[in-house]
Amino acid sequence: MIAYINVSVRGEDMMNDSRNGSMNRPMNDSKETAASAVSYTAPSTVSATEYNKRNIFIGTTLIIIGLLWLFTLVSEPIQKAYAAANEFFWVSTNERAIATDQIAAEAAVVLDIQSDEVLFYKNDKMKLPPASTTKMMTAMLALEEIELNQRVVVGPEVNWVKLGESKAGLRPGQLLTWEELIAAMMLPSGNDAARTIAVNIGMKYAEAGATREEAYHTFVAKMNERVQELGMYDTNFANPHGMDEYDHYSTAYDLATLAKEAMKDEWFRYIVKQEEFQLTEAAGNGNAQEIIRNRNQLLQPESEYYYEGAIGIKTGFTDGAGYCLVSAAEQKDREIIVVVLHSTKEQVWTDSHSLLKYGFDIK
């Protein structure tokens, strides 16, 4: 079992100085008699009381100083650990615990799907660009509205794709099933497929006579309605594909929440797990089938980043978001979701590997 303490240490170690005080014994007056006999006069009652008070005060002060010194000695390493973790601190009985500085990603979360327990977090509530992990929401909403074997005509919205965007190579006039269209969005991360989905689903809710652009924005509004329903209060979507926009952001925690919800759909699970997917002749050039390949290297057996037991979910990259990955894996009766945001090209995979392994090792 893990206890989580989300703290931020901003103070400095307190240093307690002490001085060794000296105390003279009370001096007693004496008088010599004429016969040189010496008589001793006992201290007065007042002097004795003051003497006892001084002893009590000094003794108490020394005890307090000793306790403060002991507290400083014990708390210093804890404070240093707090400062090193900065915004993250947790206690674990697991000997394989991972420190946040071992994870290159700006933000990360490990979520146990069965228990709904967060097993690891780093800046999990930090708002960051989510890149193409956004498409999890697009796919989930589409699957709630359609029949997978229904066909869709690709429209001119595929030409809205700008230079440098990821695309599945769809062309206006192509005829695809919804399953193929969602696969074209989730596996090769096609923004052209994401826009086609948004327009076609948006048309169902837009006013009569709405343009394709208006239908597109209607779909985005639906995305944000679902955001609120899921309690993703640190998320706002401005598009269905994940390209950087100032009001398009999410958090590692919210994306883990979204992934958990999306993975409840059996068809979502099926599509995101595929290493590759074959499009029908109608979806391709009319003469041969086209094969689209999943960018998630955790699923590719020939990849150095292959993770046995991986079952999805979505890659992402933009200049603003860096390299992102929402991944899931299963072992025996357990499923773990890992979210890694704003990592590097190589470490997005190693971060995910480390966190998946940690998630399964911890129990």
Give 92's DSSP letter. Answer: E
Per-residue pLDDT at 344:
97
Give the separation between CA 184 and CA 139, rounded to whole angstroms. 11
- Write out pLDDT tens, residues 46-57: 466 665 667 777
Per-residue pLDDT at 158:
94
Per-residue pLDDT at 279:
85
pLDDT for 281 beyond 70:
no
Please indicate, yes or no, if residue 151 is contained in any of the structural domains.
yes
Q: Is 135 a catalytic residue?
A: yes
What DSSP element (H or E) covers 156?
Answer: none
Range scoring the smallest mean pLDDT among 122-126, 143-147, 284-288, 341-345: 284-288
Q: How many CA atoms lie within 13 Å of 287's alpha carbon, on the beta-carbon side?
A: 1
pLDDT for 242 beyond 80:
yes
pLDDT for 89 beyond 60:
no
Domain extent, residue 271, equals 107-361
* 314 labeled binding residue: yes
Please indicate, yes or no, if residue 74 is contained in any of the structural domains.
no
Strand partners, 3: 91
Give 280's DSSP letter. Answer: P
Q: Which residue type, as a one-letter code, is found at position 34?
A: A
Going by pLDDT thresholds of 50, 70 and 90, the confidence category of residue 101 is confident
- Write out pLDDT tens, residues 304-317: 999 999 999 999 99
Give the separation between CA 125 and CA 222, rounded to whole angstroms. 23
Catalytic residue among 189, 343, 352, 354: 189
Give the separation between CA 196 and CA 152, rounded to whole angstroms. 9
Per-residue pLDDT at 12:
36
Q: Is 222 a catalytic residue?
A: no
Catalytic residue among 122, 135, 167, 222: 135
Percent of the chain with pLDDT over 90: 65
Catalytic residue among 122, 132, 167, 352: 132
Which whole number is the average pLDDT over 25-35? 40
- 84 or 118: whose pLDDT is higher? 118
Please indicate, yes or no, if residue 254 is contained in any of the structural domains.
yes
Going by pLDDT thresholds of 50, 70 and 90, the confidence category of residue 106 is very high
Please indicate, yes or no, if residue 59 is contained in any of the structural domains.
no
Token pair 């615990």: residue: 97
- 289: domain CATH number? 3.40.710.10
Please indicate, yes or no, if residue 72 is contained in any of the structural domains.
no
Q: How many domains does the chain have?
A: 1
